[in-house]
Structure 1
Amino acid sequence: MPNAISQFAAVGLLSYLLGSFPAGWVAGKICHKDLQREGSSNTGATNALRVLGKKWGCTVFVVDFFKGIVAVALASEFSEEKSQQDWLGLVAALFVIVGHNFPLWLGFKGGKGIATTAGVTLSIFPYPVFVVALISWGLVFSTTRYVSLASLAAVIALPLACFTLLFLGKIGQVFALVSLGICMLAIWRHQSNISRLAAGTEPRFVKEKND
C-alpha cells in the first residue's frame, strides 16, 4: 500500500508539473506579448491564436494537446499491472489538466484546458469518445464560429459518450465519473464565456487575412 500511494503521488505531481508548462506564456514572450494581459487574458491556445496569429496559436495547441498524451503515457510506466495503469492514467489525466489550468509558475492563472483535455481524451478513453467529442466541436464551431461554445459542446459530449459506454458495459464506472469531473471543470473555467454568450458579447472566430 505505501508503494501504491507513492506511485499515485508521484504521477499526480509529475502530471501537474507537466501540465503547468505554460506554452502560451512562452510563445507570448517570444513574440513580445503578454497573453495574461491581452485578448481574453489567459494563456490557452485560443487566446494565443487571436493575439499571436495562426502559427503560434497552432503551436501552443499542439504542445498543450501533447501534454495530455505524454502525462498518461508516463503514468503507465509506473506499474506493470493493467488495472493499476488505468488508475494511474486517470490520476494523470486529472492532474495534467489541473496543472494547465492552474500553473504554479503563473500564479495559478493558466488556460481553460480544452487542448490538454483533448489529448487526455484520446489517450485514456476509448476512441469513439474522442470521435464524438471532436465531431461535436466541429459541428458547433462550423455553425456558430464560437470557439468557446464548440469547446463546451465537446466537453459535454465527453461524459455523455462515456456514460453511454458505461451503460453498454464497455468501460468502468470510474472512467465515466472522471469524464464528468473533467466536463464540470471545463464548464467552470468557461464561466466568463458563458456569461458573454448569454449577453451576446462573446467574440466569434474570424480568420485574419494576414494569417
Structure 2
Amino acid sequence: MLAALGLGYLLGSVPFGLILTRLTGAGDLRAIGSGNIGATNVLRTGRKGLAAATLLLDLGKGFAAAWLGRLFAPDFVALAGGAAVIGHCFPLWLRFRGGKGVATLMGVSLGFAVAIGGVYAAVWLGMLALTRLSSLSGMTAAVAAPIAAWLLGYPAYAPVLAALAVLVLWLHRANIGRLIAGTEPKVGSKT
C-alpha cells in the first residue's frame, strides 16, 4: 500500500508544465497568467505545442500511476491513481502548490478503465467545445468520472474518483466565483 501511494505521488508530482516552459525559455510558469502549472496556463504563453505536450504528459503520469499500480499492487490501484492526482496538486518540490488535477485525473480515469476515461474525455471535450471554458469543462468531467465508474460497472473506483472530483472542485473555487460573476476567461484568452 505504501509503495502504491509513494509511486503514485512521485509520478504525479512531476511538474511538466513548469519544466517544459523553463526548458523552452518561456520563463517561470508560476509568474504567467493564473500562475498554475497546468496546460491551460501553458497555453497562455502562446505556445500551443507546449500546452499540448503539458496536457499529454500530465495525463500520461496519471495513467502511468494507475497502470503501474495495477501491475505491481493490484489491490491498491485506486490509491496509486489518487496519489498521482494529489501529487500533481500538492507537489513537495513546489511547496505543495501545483496544478488543479484535471488532466492527471483524466489519465487516472483511463488507467482505471478505458470506458471511464472515455466518458471523462467526451464530457471534457464536449463542454469545452460548447463553452470554451476550461475550468467548467474540467470540473464537469471530474464530476462525471465517479458516475461513469458506477454506471459502467466499476463501482470499486467510484469512491476515489468522487473524492478526487471534490478536490478538483475545491481547487477551482476561485474559478467557480468567476463563472458565477461571468468573468471567467475563455480558452485562448491571455488572462
Q: Which has the larger radius of gyration?
A: 1
TM interval, shorter chain, is: over 0.9
How far apart, CA to CA, are the structure 1 residues paired with 2:135 and 2:189? Answer: 16
Shift of 1:130: 2.0
Q: Contact 2:15 / 2:88 at 8 angstroms: preserved in 1?
A: yes
Residue segments in structure 2 that go unaligned for 5+ positions in a row: none
Shift of 1:207: 7.9
How far apart, CA to CA, are the structure 1 residues paired with 2:3 and 2:115? Answer: 30
Shift of 1:151: 0.8
After the TM superposition, which segments of 4 or more aligned residues of structure 1 sit over 4 Å from their partners?
Answer: none
Query: What percent of counterpart residues are identical?
Result: 37
Following superposition of structure 1 onto structure 2, how do residues 118-133 of structure 1 map, counting pairs within 5 Å? 118-125=106-113, 127-133=114-120
Could you say what the CA RMSD is over the residues aligned between the two structures, in angstroms?
1.7
Counterpart residue number, 1:16: 9
Give the one of 3, 20, 33 matched to 1:27.
20
- Give per-residue Cα distances to partners, 1:52-104, cap 9 Å, x unaligned: 5101111111111110111122223324xxxxx1x321011100000001111
Give the one of 138, 148, 154 matched to 1:171.
154
Following superposition of structure 1 onto structure 2, how do residues 102-121 of structure 1 map, counting pairs within 5 Å? 102-121=90-109
- State the TM-score, normalized to the length of structure 1: 0.84
How far apart, CA to CA, are the structure 2 residues paired with 1:146 and 1:76? Answer: 33
1:199 correspondence with 2:181: yes
Q: Contact 1:118 / 1:130 at 8 angstroms: preserved in 2?
A: yes
Counterpart residue number, 1:156: 143
How far apart, CA to CA, are the structure 2 residues paired with 1:98 and 1:52? Answer: 28
Cα distance change on mapping 1:196 and 1:103 into 2, 3 Å? same
Shift of 1:23: 0.6
Shift of 1:133: 1.9
How far apart, CA to CA, are the structure 2 residues paired with 1:191 and 1:33? Answer: 27
Q: Contact 2:69 / 2:81 at 8 angstroms: preserved in 1?
A: no
Shift of 1:178: 1.2
Q: Contact 2:107 / 2:117 at 8 angstroms: preserved in 1?
A: no
How far apart, CA to CA, are the structure 2 residues paired with 1:99 and 1:144? Answer: 29
Q: Contact 2:116 / 2:148 at 8 angstroms: preserved in 1?
A: yes
- Give per-residue Cα distances to partners, 1:115-153, cap 9 Å, x unaligned: 11111101113x332222222112211111111111111
Shift of 1:36: 1.0
What SS does the aligned partner of 1:40 have?
Answer: coil
Cα distance change on mapping 1:99 and 1:52 into 2, 3 Å? farther
Counterpart residue number, 2:84: 96
Q: Contact 2:58 / 2:104 at 8 angstroms: preserved in 1?
A: yes
Shift of 1:160: 1.8
The count of corresponding residues between Structure 1 and Structure 2 is 189
- State the TM-score, normalized to the length of structure 2: 0.92
Counterpart residue number, 1:40: 34
1:62 correspondence with 2:50: no
Letter in 2 for 1:74: L
Q: Contact 1:27 / 1:60 at 8 angstroms: preserved in 2?
A: yes
Q: Contact 1:28 / 1:52 at 8 angstroms: preserved in 2?
A: no
